[in-house]
Structure formats: structure tokens, C-alpha cells
Amino acid sequence: MAIEPRDAEGALEFARRDNLLSPGLYAWAITVLAPVCLRGAGTLARVAAGLAAVSLLLGAVFGSRGRGRLRRTFGLHGFVALSVATWLLLGRVLAADRLEPMRAALGAVGWAVFAFGWGALRKPGYVPEEDPHVVAGPPLSPRASLPRGAVPILVAAVGSAAVPLGLAWRVTRQYHALFAHAVAVAAAIWLVTSAAEVAIGRGRVSPVAPASKRLGQAALPLALLAVLLVAGIVALTGG
């Protein structure tokens, strides 16, 4: 059974609105509504929280064709700004020592899904190759294939990057916890970036640079590492 173009457009519009509304309402309920329901939350904060929800709903209402700017103004800028205003107005009610880690984590996921919801959807039945601007010709083949073991290295690095992120939740001291999360995020990003370099760089560099030159390139960090290792051994045996 063929899908009518009008039905397809309607389904696309529904999906577009739902992509904005569902994650937005979820993030709002967990990170905005829940704290304003706590004792001690001010009236102004509650009003701002209500306006944030109204702004999100308006953004979804203006989701129809040709009203993209209104949709973005209410659904994104207005909603986010009013949510931030609510958090600022909450003051001590939203202090770090009063946050529940699980709720905070779920809220962060909600906001991430909300951000993804702003992505574009492909129209039903749309074939990219049939676009009038498409460059005709045979499919472009990659100039080189990935070196052996590139994917396992990257997968292992992504898994390893998640470990410090999880361990950071064990830190209970207030400022140290913040530092631990910052370090864990930086380490995770650096690990994945470096692993990608290592994974694809092996095949590319080895035929060009001799091994001695490559070792020479890493001489400084390796020397510092050796100093650190000796210091660690001295501290371990001395103390």
C-alpha cells in the first residue's frame, strides 16, 4: 500500500514535534520541575519553570512549515534560557551537596537527547542520490584501508575512557569531586583522540620514519616518564 505524500508529511511533522517535545519535557521534569517542587523554592523560580514549559510547548506548536524561527526562539532559546533562569533563581535549593547523582545523571541524558532532537529528519521516500545537486559518477572509494587492529584499539579506548568517568562518581569531597569529573572528562576525550591517532597512524608512519627517529620524537615524554617512575619507586621503597 502506497503512502500518501500528505500522510508522509504529517508523519514527518509529528516526528519532528515529538523529537522536540518528549526529550524536552523529560529534561524539564527531572532538572527543572523536580527542584522547584522542593521546599524553599521561590515563587519567581516556580514562575520561570512554568514559563520554560510553556515556551517548549509553543516551540512544538510552531513546528509547522515556514515557522522555523519561531520554533527555535521558543523551543530552544526561550526554553533553555528560562530553565537556566530557574536554576539561578533556585539558589541554595540547587546546591551541589543537595543534588542526587542519579537524578543529575538522568537529567544530563535528557538534555543530551533534547539536543539530538533538534537534528534534521530525512523526508520519507527521499533518496539522496536523486538530489538535483548530487555529483554524478561512480562511488568514491577510500584512498587507503584502515590498518589491521584499528577498530579493536578504538573500541578498547572508548571502553577504557568510560572507566575514569565512572570512578569520578566515587569522589565524595565537594571540590575534589568537581576536579575528578573535570579530569575524567578530559582524560576520556584525550584517550579516545589519541587512540584514534594510534589506531590509524601506525600504517601511515611506519614506512616513512625509521623506528629510531620515532623513538627520538617521544624522547622527552619518555624521559619524564622514567623520572616519574624512579620517583615513584623511591617513594615506595623509602616510605
Q: Which residues bind another protein (CB under 8 A)?
A: 153, 156-157, 160-161, 163-164, 167-168, 170-173, 176, 179-180, 183-184, 187, 190-191, 194-195, 197-198, 201-202, 204-212, 214-215, 217-218, 220-222, 224-225, 228-229, 232
Query: Which residue lies nearer to another protein by CB, 137 or 207?
Result: 207
Query: Which residue lies nearer to another protein by CB, 115 or 146?
Result: 146
Q: Whole-number minimum distance, CB 191 to another protein, in Å?
A: 6
Q: With b meaning 16 or more CB within 10 Å and e meaning fewer, what string describes 192-213? A: eeebeeebbeeeeeeeeeeeee
Q: Whole-number minimum distance, CB 161 to another protein, in Å?
A: 7
Q: Whole-number minimum distance, CB 147 to another protein, in Å?
A: 9
Query: Which residue lies nearer to another protein by CB, 139 or 175?
Result: 175
Name the grid cell of 103.
537524578
- Per this entry, what is the length of the chain? 239
Name the grid cell of 4.
500518501
Q: Whole-number minimum distance, CB 94 to another protein, in Å?
A: 24
Per the CB < 8 A criterion, the answer to whether 56 and 79 are in contact is yes
Per the CB < 8 A criterion, the answer to whether 29 and 9 are in contact is no
Neighbouring C-alpha atoms within 13 Å toward the C-beta of 211: 0
Dihedral pair phi/psi, residue 101, rounded to 5°: -55, -40
Q: Whole-number minimum distance, CB 219 to another protein, in Å?
A: 8
Query: Which residue lies nearer to another protein by CB, 141 or 237?
Result: 237
Residues near 8 by Cβ (< 8 Å), separated by ≥ 6?
123, 124, 125
Query: Which residue lies nearer to another protein by CB, 151 or 222?
Result: 222
